[in-house]
Amino acid sequence: MQPVKSMTTFADILDAADNLSADEQETLLEILHRRLAERKRAQLIRDVEEARAEFTNGRARPASVREIMDEAGGEA
């Protein structure tokens, strides 16, 4: 028999946050916002690096906003 892994659920995290003081909840929010911003920034950097590599390797070409939107089926 394998040992049972303890998994924290989202509900457990919310319950734990409810037990924090208002100041601690504010601090938690600030930390989470900062971490989320860092993740988004890191993803943007990866996307830009990938796009530059595709362009350098001839797998992408410059395009206007209109061309991109037309290709995506949208309107510019």
pLDDT for position 60 = 83
What is the torsion angle, in degrees rounded to the nearest 10, for the CA atoms of residue 18, residue 35, residue 33 and residue 24? 30
Q: Which pLDDT score is estimated for 74?
A: 63
Cα–Cα distance for residue pair 16/11, rounded to 1 Å: 9
- Report, as ranges of residue numbers, the positions in the chain whose pLDDT lies below 70: 1-6, 74-76
Domain ranges of the chain: 24-72
User: Can you give the pLDDT at residue 31?
Assistant: 98
